[in-house]
């Protein structure tokens, strides 16, 4: 008599289960059965689950038939993740070398749900291995998430070769924070381009500009120093309002710039009112959305 499709599927699951039970995380005599997302059955000693996992201490405290060999505990994760974590929970079972940070992240996520401090501590010792530290931003993100200060510092040092504002690294950083940092940087860099333009600030940016009164070549050093101060100020306060407000009056760079005079006829090099108005116009043009 031909075997039905349901019977074939059941036999396939049983064969897969026997392989997993024999070679991965337990023995046929173990009394707790888990079922992965892919339908693989894992038979594990309940005492191991209770000792290593807060999640299973609660689940296995429920009376039958909440859990039994006939009613496996469903796990919404794939075989690779479940097998690796169960091996870490069962002393003496070897795991394969970590293939990627993505694999570590998947196992860590399940370990956190299962409340398994032992496996999490084992993974912590591996997170800064040279092969994994090749992705320092992701290592830093994981270390920060779990409060691993020493590992976060190691990863932070490894990021010093990277331009964090490069689009290639955007996905490895928390999106909301990265969006804010990028907005601040865009405002600063856009202002620098506007301040360097000759259309608004020709008197200071034209290195060959001469005094309109006596035609002596101007020394624009004080304007360059004021621009450098404004660039630094944009890092401190990206809103930019201090670049043309009362605070600017206290800067030695602005005092030197507004007081700079032609070496030939002593005429002021720059019109303070016009220049400050142009600076304000530049600030008002800066991007203000993420």
Strands 32-35 and 41-44: antiparallel
- In which band, very low, low, confident or very high, does the pLDDT at 187 lie, cut at 50, 70 and 90? very high
Q: Where are the alpha helices (DSSP H) in the chain?
A: 5-20, 46-52, 54-59, 79-89, 101-114, 117-126, 136-146, 149-158, 175-195, 198-205, 221-236, 252-259, 272-284
**Nearest-10 crossing angle of helices 272-284, 198-205:** 140
Is the bond leading into 138 cis (omega within 30 degrees of zero)? no
Q: What is the pLDDT of residue 13?
A: 40
Q: What is the pLDDT of residue 26?
A: 47
Total residue count of the chain as it appears in this document: 290
CB-based burial label for 226 (10 Å; 0-12, 13-18, 19+): buried
Q: What is the pLDDT of residue 64?
A: 65
pLDDT digits (tens, 9 = 90+) for 116-127: 999 999 999 999
Domain ranges of the chain: 175-284
CB-based burial label for 21 (10 Å; 0-12, 13-18, 19+): buried
CB-based burial label for 190 (10 Å; 0-12, 13-18, 19+): middle
- In which band, very low, low, confident or very high, does the pLDDT at 24 lie, cut at 50, 70 and 90? very low
pTM of full prediction above 0.75: no
Do 254 and 222 meet the contact criterion of CB atoms below 8 Å apart? no
Q: Examine the pLDDT at 266 and tell me if it is beyond 50.
A: yes
Q: Locate 157 and state its tokens.
A: 């040092």
């Amino acid at each position: 008599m031909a075997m039905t499709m349901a019977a074939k599927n059941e036999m396939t699951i049983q064969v897969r289960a026997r392989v997993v039970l024999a070679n991965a995380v337990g023995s046929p005599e173990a009394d707790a059965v888990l079922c992965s997302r892919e339908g693989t059955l894992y038979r594990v000693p309940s005492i191991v689950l209770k000792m290593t996992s807060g999640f299973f201490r609660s689940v296995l405290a429920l009376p039958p038939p909440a859990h039994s060999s006939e009613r496996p505990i469903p796990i919404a994760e794939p075989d690779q993740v479940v097998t690796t974590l169960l091996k870490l929970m069962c002393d003496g079972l070897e795991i394969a070398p970590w293939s990627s940070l993505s694999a570590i992240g998947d196992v860590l996520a399940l370990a956190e749900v299962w409340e398994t401090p032992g496996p999490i501590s084992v993974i912590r010792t591996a997170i800064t291995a040279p092969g994994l530290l090749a992705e320092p931003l992701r290592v830093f993100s994981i270390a920060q998430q779990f409060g691993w200060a020493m590992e976060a510092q190691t990863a932070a040092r490894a990021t010093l070769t990277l331009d964090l504002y490069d689009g290639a690294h955007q996905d490895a950083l928390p999106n909301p924070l990265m969006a804010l940092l990028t907005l601040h940087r865009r405002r600063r860099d856009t202002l620098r381009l506007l301040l360097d333009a000759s259309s608004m600030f020709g008197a200071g940016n034209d290195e060959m500009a001469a005094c309109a009164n006596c035609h002596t070549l101007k020394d624009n050093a004080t304007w360059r120093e004021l621009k450098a101060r404004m660039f630094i100020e944009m890092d401190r306060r990206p809103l930019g309002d201090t670049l043309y407000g009362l605070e600017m009056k206290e800067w030695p760079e602005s005092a030197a710039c507004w007081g700079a005079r032609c070496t030939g006829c002593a005429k002021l090099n720059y019109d303070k009112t016009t220049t400050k108005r142009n600076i304000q116009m530049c600030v008002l043009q800066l991007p203000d959305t993420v």
